A = this chain, B = another copy of it.
Amino acid sequence: MTFTAKGLATRNRIIEGAATHLRSDEPGTVTLDDVRAWTGTSKSQLFHYFPGGKEELLLEVARYEADRVLEDQQPHLAALDSWASWDRWQGAVIARYRAQGARCPLASLMSQVDSVAGASQVATSLLNRWQEYVRQGITTMQAQGDIDPELNAQRTAAAFIAGIQGGVTVLRSTGDTAHLEAIFDLLTSYLRAPEHKRAA
């Protein structure tokens, strides 16, 4: 159970190697033998470093990918303090998913992990962290007088997350970023509007 430096290196090689190939190949059916081939390891190594078997391994890969999702949006996401920075962030998100195309490594992964608890926890954690960045950005802009202070930052940030998520989901089916761009434009346009009265 205690790993040496060499052991940890192997473990990481497995996670990163699996992630890389899962990103490019069709992840519909990943087998442990696939992972073995990709990472040049043996069956015993797989179970040595991931006693929980396939499920634990895929969960680790999911965690790894979830972190990448946020990293790819930095440094923009952490400093949404001007309209220009919001634009750069939007550009980065759309560029990322356009490059990724119809493949969403994380979504594919999630569908394969049965450990409902673990999988949904990874997803929820990612969404929460993501949303918190956006909420922080909205609050900052409100403090600067750029956004109507009446706006519910928390709820609007939630809408952003849902919108982006939906744009990506549609992208996965259609291979087109049009929906993602449409919702993103609408959301930022909403933010810039001077008033946010909710009609009755």
Contact = CB atoms under 8 A, between A and B. Distances in A.
Interface in A155-174: 155-156, 158-159, 161-170, 173-174
A158 B178 contact: yes
19 contacts: A26-B116, A108-B111, A111-B111, A120-B174, A120-B175, A124-B174, A127-B174, A155-B182, A158-B182, A159-B163, A159-B182, A162-B163, A162-B180, A162-B182, A162-B183, A163-B163, A165-B169, A166-B169, A166-B183
Contacts of A170: 127, 161-162, 165
Instruction: Tell me how many chains of this kind the complex includes.
Output: 2
In which size bucket is the chain A interface? 35 or more
B196 A189 contact: yes
Interface of A: 26, 28-29, 83, 102, 108, 111, 114, 116, 120, 123-124, 127, 155-156, 158-159, 161-170, 173-175, 178-180, 182-183, 185-190, 192-193, 195-199
A32 to B, nearest CB: 17
A111 B155 CA distance: 30
Contacts of A187: 186
Contacts of A163: 159, 162-163, 166, 183
